Amino acid sequence: MKRPYLLNSILLVFALVLSVAIGAVFIPPASIMRIIISAIPFQLDPEFVSETMSTIVLQLRLPHSILIAMAGAALAASGAGYQGLFQNPLADPYLIGVASGAGLGAVLAMSLNWPSSLFGFLAIPVAAFVGASITVILVYRLARFGNVLSITNLILAGVAVGSFASALTSLIMLRSDGEVRRAIAWLLGGSTLSGWLPVIASLPFIVISLGILIAAGYTLNVLQFGDEQAQQLGLPVERIKILIILTASLATATAVSFTGVIGFIGLIVPHMVRILWGPDYRRLIPLSILAGATTLLIADLLARTLLAPQEIPIGIITALAGAPFFLWILWRHQRGGIKV
């Protein structure tokens, strides 16, 4: 595993192809390639492809898979970002309540004005971002005593604030009706909105937040010495913390806006990457992005196929795998005598 980027890129392409190929109708990878190539405009000699297959791939499966991959990448990267920021490997956007806060923001935006245009869609991640930012600041303030931020306090505060946000979200859902109610119900279970609009609406936020998180790798490394040493080494610590909180929250919020509240990806993926390729955040974040996309694509594939034709909400799959994993990490840390 000397070439982590190559390996993770290959795995991602593989997962993406599988994700598009497998469904109610199996579409062979070769046909997928042909359909995608034929969709490129201004070709001299477009290949003939079946209209139905083409619609399934281009209008249903491809946007769905890309959205899932983007969400997985965003959740894993923001998980790694929060872990670096809080200097704790157990921080996860779901566990610290940020995902629920983002969910509340997204649902508020949907219920106030059900979007029918791209502009309406863009309002959802923005509202989710506001919800996520308020949550993370609140949780951070509640969990911190003096200069000490213990993970116990962080997760307790995260659970409390997150539950409060989820309860408000459920209330809003009860008071709404029709399409909004259905959409929210899907979101709570962790499932995607369909079509290209959500992809286009999330793309700029994902690119900005992941770009900043990748660039922040080195400063996250220095931050692992603690605030005081980081400052003595020349980092403007407070400004950097705010920047990372905002970008990690933006990534979480965008993922939650269109794929729902999905837990544990931000915990599992960076943790596995850390075990396999070390703690250097300059590698950890880009590798988590690739591995996060792959992992969520696989979770989504399982969610769609395990009980087919019934679809399991993807959040259930990640929780089934993630909760035991969380306990395993906790156990490992306690045995290792490392303060969690």
Partner 1 sequence: MLRIRSISVSYGETEILHQVSLDVHAGEVVSLIGPNGAGKTTMMRAISGVIPVKSGSVHIGEEDLSVTPVSERAKLLAVVPQARKLTPEYTVQQVVMMGRTPYLGWLGNPSPGDADKANWAIDRTRISGLSDRKVAELSGGEQQLVLVARALAQDAPVILLDEPTAHLDLRHQATILDLVHSLARERGLAVLMSLHDLNLVSIFSDRIALLDNGNILAIGQPNEVINQQLLSQVYQVPLDIIPHPHRDIPLVLLNGRDD
Which residues contact partner 1 by CB under 8 A? 215-219, 221-222, 224-229, 231-237, 278-280, 282
The Cα 115–Cα 278 span in angstroms is 43
Question: Closest separation between CB of residue 236 and partner 1, Å?
Answer: 5
Sorted by sequence, the CB contacts under 8 Å of residue 46 that are 6+ apart come out as 38
The CA distance from 66 to 68, in Å, is 5
Residue holding tokens 């005593």? 145
CA–chain centroid gap for 220, Å, is 19
191 or 209: whose CB is closer to partner 1? 209
As measured in angstroms, the least distance from the Cβ of 227 to partner 1 is 8
Pick between residue 59 and residue 224 the one whose CB is nearest to partner 1: 224
Nearest-approach distance from CB 39 to partner 1, in angstroms: 37
Indicate the residue among 85 and 201 with the shorter CB distance to partner 1: 85
Least distance from partner 1 to the Cβ atom of residue 221, Å: 7
By beta-carbon proximity to partner 1, the closer residue of 199 and 230 is 230
User: How far apart are CB 335 and partner 1 at their closest, in Å?
Assistant: 15
Contact 41, 320 (CB under 8 A): no
Kind and range of the H or E element at 273? helix 265-277
Nearest residue (CB) to partner 1, 55 versus 224: 224
Q: Read off the amino acid at residue 42.
A: F
Gap between the Cα atoms of 169 and 175, Å rounded: 10
Q: How far is the CB of 219 from partner 1 (least distance, A)?
A: 7
Six token digits for residue 308: 């087919």
**Do the beta carbons of residue 284 and residue 277 sit within 8 Å?**
yes
Peptide bond into 309 cis (omega under 30): yes
Q: CB-wise, 29 or 236, nearer to partner 1? A: 236
